[in-house]
Chains A and B, each alone.
Chain A
Amino acid sequence: MTTLPRTDVVIVGGGWSGLLMAKELGARTSLAITVLERGAPRPANSYSEGMDELDYAIRFRLMQDVSKETFTFRHTAKDRALPIRQFASFFPGDGVGGAGEHWNGETPRFLPDVFDIHTRTVERYGAKRLPQNHSVQDWGISYNDVEPWYTKVEQLLGISGKGGLNPYEGARSAEFPTPPLRPGYVPSLFTAAAEGMGYGPYPMPSANLSQTYRNPDGIVRPACLYCGYCERFGCMVGAKAQPTNTLLPVIARQKSVSLTTGAHVRRIVHKDGRATGVTWVDAEGQEFFQPADLVIAASWTLNNARLLLLSGAGVPYNSVTGKGQVGRNLTHQPTGGITMFFDQPLNQFMGSGANSVAINNLDGDNFDHDPLTFLRGAQISAPAFGHRPIANFGVLPPRFPTAWGAEWKKASIRLYDRTAHLAAAGEHLAYKTNFMDLDAVYRDKFGDPLLRLTLDWNDNERNMMKFMSVEAAELARAMGAREVGIPQPLGHYDVTSYKTSHVQGGAIMGAGPATSVVNPWLQHWQIPNLFVIGASAFPQNASGNPTLTLLALTLRTANAIVERYQTSPGALA
């Protein structure tokens, strides 16, 4: 093992949160900052060659290499966990920019009551209404604590949208920096239908720019071209905010920041409540120790939790005793909605990753749950993300019995561009029975245990999605759909179908060390010179897409490091 020269700050992971932290500290301090990214560099100018559905959307060319490292999965602690041998239900990123390169760019703020969900739910419905095995808890911060940072992130990314249309949005200190995208046909049908039903449709806030934008760092990005290749692809013109086009050009000018690729961090080294640095391995298998005064874990959600568990940084959660914190509150996202079949063609090949119109009327606690069999709700939206044929050919109404042959082919050709989906993305409450720990059997290429996910849906999600599909079907008919699909019940969690990549938890934030890993500044309760940033800090899934919030919390933490931690290193009160 080679010991490298000491650095002030080492950041594990060169995705959205890690590079944003590097950029902020690089701009506002004189600290020497080392970013370690295990994947490859990404020359952003090569993305036009990547407009290929098979290689990128089906074979996942930009994602974490599953052959080298995956997760194991089981429904309950009594079951045998088996490896997720192919990714499908969520997509961990890899390489510089991480999952921020191949995301869709939907960037709503969370509903204000998300941050004190436990308090508000108990106030309105009583503690007995929460599921028996829940571990729902407040975040330790309120919407007002996050609001200024939401505004800053929106300006950094140039988020396109329009305030005041969504009756449930939290107070905004500034209007969106750019106007909404021009909606595709299906979202425009949804707007009219939702208005007719008394809902409050609004254009989904978008990190794909509606017009050329120059951000406060002087980074200029062009308007979206609606090519339809966003999710699972990098943007070939840079209209979609990605770490490589929004942060990397700034970091490249910062002499105090260095970025090393192919650097796989295996452990955070700590002693007596103080992190001393990290160990990492390069592509040739050479081992290094990088000493640092401040360690920031910024890898993808689940990988953050795994790194803490491998490093013994905090007490692992024990689902039997309920003690321990690292690995608690694993949440993903129940998804559903309705498939719609129209008479008219929809031109669905055009679109953009956040070209969508949404409603929050059936989200959060925006509707009365007294007569219902579930708590919280879902964002319902009508996307025009760009339909590509391998993924979308052959979706038929249930009256067609077979999925091959002449009849299937004929109907699939006719309906290919007459089919659309109304998406419901729900909140996922936290439960004592959904958690992560280290697997006892399966290992990565270095011999380190894989992270084991113990995860299943509960009745709250099942009942919620059933309700949402009924509501979505009504919206679909109001949009003029001739026929709708029959939604499958949510059943048990599976790793074989895509939901979202909004996996959260494992190193959650909270008001006290008994039930959280990091404090409201994302600072480790037991190791104050270790910060753990990203959606691993979210105590539960909030229905809204997580990236804007995780970036806002990253900026808030960076600010606390600059203004307070730097002068007085220690626990931030």
Chain B
Amino acid sequence: MRRRHFITLSAATLSGAIVRGFGRPPAKVRIPLRFFTEPEALVVAAATARIFPSDESGPGAEEAGVVIYIDRQLAGPYGRDRYRYTAPPFERGVVEQGYQGSANPRQIYRSSLRLLAGFDKLPPAQQDEKLRGIETTHFFRLLHQHTIEGMFCDPMHGGNAGLVGWKLIGFPGPYMSWADHIDQHPGTAFRPEPKSLSDILGRPIQPWEDEESQA
């Protein structure tokens, strides 16, 4: 069994959902990690915060808890390639044939993060330079895609904490009906308050990664 790893995040920056139920909100929260080691998680948190920074245009990967999202995805069926055809032989193809590697997302992160050790300690300008250097890699494409997923997924998956991502872009979530609005509001912003799927259904919903992990 692996040693338990935690990532310590500031409760003030990490929005809402994850720290609910603590009574008086603590200044720091320690969140148990399912896949990453603590040093790995710190690198991922720092890198995704450069991809989707927190700045004057609004909160970013840090507040959304993108690192928590990625940690859960990698720990779950996605991370072990449950959703990919993985029969050999693995041959190099043309780009139109898609990713043909044998490495699963866990392996890709683990080996790529080794090369980024200490990334979180660098000043932002040097962090950006490092990321520019790996921009065309398969790992960066995954990291970029996962950052967007962690920003804008339903909070049940561990990202988009406190619905910060949806609030940022005015996406209201999976409301059941816009029948009274579909042909109203032409050219003007209609921005209902964002709600998660479990807010809307009034009961907790189990994400696929948890169901498959138990199976």
The contact of B188 among A84, A188, A345, by CB within 8 Å, is A345
- What residues of B have a CB within 8 angstroms of the CB of A279 in the complex? none
- What residues of B have a CB within 8 angstroms of the CB of A75 in the complex? 94, 96
B166 interface residue (CB < 8 Å to A): yes
The contact of B53 among A84, A345, A405, A494, by CB within 8 Å, is A405
Tell me whether A236 and B176 are in contact (CB under 8 A): yes
- What residues of B have a CB within 8 angstroms of the CB of A416 in the complex? 169-171
Tell me whether A350 and B181 are in contact (CB under 8 A): yes
Tell me whether B98 and A404 are in contact (CB under 8 A): no
A51 interface residue (CB < 8 Å to B): yes
- What residues of B have a CB within 8 angstroms of the CB of A237 in the complex? 176
- What residues of B have a CB within 8 angstroms of the CB of A79 in the complex? 94
Looking across the interface, which residue of chain A has its beta carbon closest to that of B83?
A59
Q: How far is the CA of A398 from the CA of B24 in the complex (A)?
A: 47
The contact of A54 among B81, B85, B157, B176, by CB within 8 Å, is B157
Q: How far is the CA of A37 from the CA of B39 in the complex (A)?
A: 48
B137 interface residue (CB < 8 Å to A): no
In the assembled complex, the CB of B134 is this many whole angstroms from the nearest CB of chain A, namely 12
Tell me whether A404 and B144 are in contact (CB under 8 A): yes
Tell me whether A493 and B96 are in contact (CB under 8 A): yes
- What residues of A have a CB within 8 angstroms of the CB of B51 in the complex? 404-405
Tell me whether A225 and B177 are in contact (CB under 8 A): yes
Looking across the interface, which residue of chain A has its beta carbon closest to that of B165?
A389
- What residues of A have a CB within 8 angstroms of the CB of B85 in the complex? 66-67, 69-70, 83-86
The contact of B86 among A67, A73, A228, A389, by CB within 8 Å, is A67
A510 interface residue (CB < 8 Å to B): no
Tell me whether B185 and A347 are in contact (CB under 8 A): yes
Binary contact track A338-376/B, C-beta < 8 Å → 1, others 0: 000000111101111001000000000000000000000
- What residues of B have a CB within 8 angstroms of the CB of A182 in the complex? 182-183
Residue among B152, B154, B166 with the highest chain A CB neighbour number at 10 A: B152
Tell me whether B98 and A86 are in contact (CB under 8 A): yes
With A61-B208, A66-B83, A413-B168 already in contact, the answer to whether A227 and B96 are too (CB < 8 A) is no
Tell me whether B201 and A55 are in contact (CB under 8 A): no
In the assembled complex, the CB of B131 is this many whole angstroms from the nearest CB of chain A, namely 7
Residue among B89, B178, B185 with the highest chain A CB neighbour number at 10 A: B178
Tell me whether A73 and B97 are in contact (CB under 8 A): yes
Tell me whether B172 and A495 are in contact (CB under 8 A): no
Tell me whether B154 and A417 are in contact (CB under 8 A): no
In the assembled complex, the CB of A404 is this many whole angstroms from the nearest CB of chain B, namely 4
Q: How far is the CA of A492 from the CA of B131 in the complex (A)?
A: 30
B residues 176-215 in Cβ contact with A at 8 Å: 176-179, 181-183, 185-190, 197, 200-201, 205, 207-208
Q: How far is the CA of A129 from the CA of B152 in the complex (A)?
A: 49
- What residues of A have a CB within 8 angstroms of the CB of B176 in the complex? 48, 51, 225, 227, 236-237
Tell me whether B190 and A347 are in contact (CB under 8 A): yes
B78 interface residue (CB < 8 Å to A): yes
The contact of A390 among B60, B82, B94, B152, by CB within 8 Å, is B152
Looking across the interface, which residue of chain B has its beta carbon closest to that of A412?
B169
- What residues of A have a CB within 8 angstroms of the CB of B95 in the complex? 494, 496
B38 interface residue (CB < 8 Å to A): no
Binary contact track B91-110/A, C-beta < 8 Å → 1, others 0: 10111111110000000000
The contact of B99 among A86, A384, A417, by CB within 8 Å, is A86
- What residues of A have a CB within 8 angstroms of the CB of B55 in the complex? 406, 409-410
Tell me whether B152 and A494 are in contact (CB under 8 A): no
In the assembled complex, the CB of B167 is this many whole angstroms from the nearest CB of chain A, namely 11
Tell me whether B93 and A350 are in contact (CB under 8 A): no
A residues 68-83 in Cβ contact with B at 8 Å: 69-70, 73-75, 79-80, 82-83
B87 interface residue (CB < 8 Å to A): yes
A49 interface residue (CB < 8 Å to B): yes
Tell me whether A80 and B52 are in contact (CB under 8 A): no
Which B residues fall within an 8 A CB radius of A? Answer: 50-53, 55, 57-58, 60, 78, 81-87, 89, 91, 93-100, 128, 131, 144, 147-149, 151-154, 156-157, 165-166, 168-172, 174-179, 181-183, 185-190, 197, 200-201, 205, 207-208
User: 28 A–B contact pairs at CB < 8 A?
Assistant: A49-B201, A58-B149, A59-B78, A73-B97, A75-B94, A82-B100, A85-B84, A85-B85, A86-B85, A86-B98, A88-B98, A185-B185, A226-B177, A226-B182, A227-B174, A227-B176, A227-B178, A349-B171, A389-B169, A389-B171, A393-B151, A404-B147, A405-B128, A413-B168, A416-B169, A492-B96, A495-B98, A496-B95
Which A residues fall within an 8 A CB radius of B? Answer: 48-49, 51-55, 58-61, 66-67, 69-70, 73-75, 79-80, 82-86, 88, 182-185, 188, 223-229, 236-237, 344-347, 349-352, 355, 384, 388-390, 393-394, 403-406, 409-410, 413, 416-417, 441-443, 492-496
Additional A-B contacts beyond A224-B179, A226-B182 (13; CB < 8 A): A48-B176, A52-B154, A53-B154, A66-B83, A80-B91, A88-B98, A226-B177, A226-B179, A229-B174, A236-B176, A345-B189, A389-B171, A413-B58
